[in-house]
Amino acid sequence: MPQGQPSVVPNDGLTTRQRRNRPLVFVHTGVGKGKSTAAFGLALRAWNQGWPVGVFQFVKSAKWKVGEERALKVLGETGEGGTVAWHKMGEGWSWVQRDMASSEEAAREGWEQVKRDLAAETYQLLVLDEFAYPLHWGWIDTEDVIAALRDRPGTQHVVITGRNAPQALVDFADLVTDMSKVKHPMDTGQKGQRGIEW
């Protein structure tokens, strides 16, 4: 794809501008590091364009203080770019939490909020961080998600992150990146560190 030129131009009756500006669904999946990081990079670009951005964290604990949250919230308050809203679904779900039933309920409530925001066109970009997990676990119906994304009004872009994205979602999405791990410091016993993992 040299200089951003598509290798195929479909015979779909759309102009180049119409095709260029259509809403997209991104999926960042796989076992490698960088799925959320790439999504937050898109959020920075969206903020720069003046778009309202909504981030919905489905798995990471609400108690965690992630750098991207602080940076995007501060940028959203400057008045220079778009607004940024950060939502943690219920209390969040961390890897050490034991109450799976309340986590499942929080994820479902979070998805219902996302559907309301899609219908209201609240955001131009929605980041559904770690959303692949509740889909993979069967907490949220993948077909319901695909239907809501397919029927969303306007030009809202949606990026979904997390391992084990369901195949139906992968098939539906416009852009799918599978982050594979070649090597990671944790493989040799090094714990995550400030500024790199959070």
* Token pair for 168: 């139906």
- Model pLDDT, residue 94: 47
Length reported for the chain? 198
- Structural domains in the chain, CATH included, are 20-180 (3.40.50.300)
Percent of the chain with pLDDT over 70: 89
pTM of the model: 0.88
| 13: enclosing H helix or E strand | none
Alpha helices for 1-159 (secondary structure H): 16-20, 35-48, 67-77, 100-120, 132-136, 142-150
- Say how far apart CA 170 and CA 100 lie, in whole Å: 26
Average pLDDT along the chain: 88
Can you list the positions of beta strands (E) in the chain? 25-29, 53-57, 84-88, 125-129, 157-161, 175-178
Q: Which of 74-78, 116-120, 158-162 has the lowest mean pLDDT?
A: 74-78
Amino acid letter for position 26: F
What mean pLDDT comes out for the span 144-173? 98
Percent of the chain with pLDDT over 90: 59
Region class of 121: left (phi > 0), else alpha (psi between -120 and 50), else beta: left
User: To 10 degrees, the CA torsion angle through 148, 48, 54, 57?
Assistant: 110
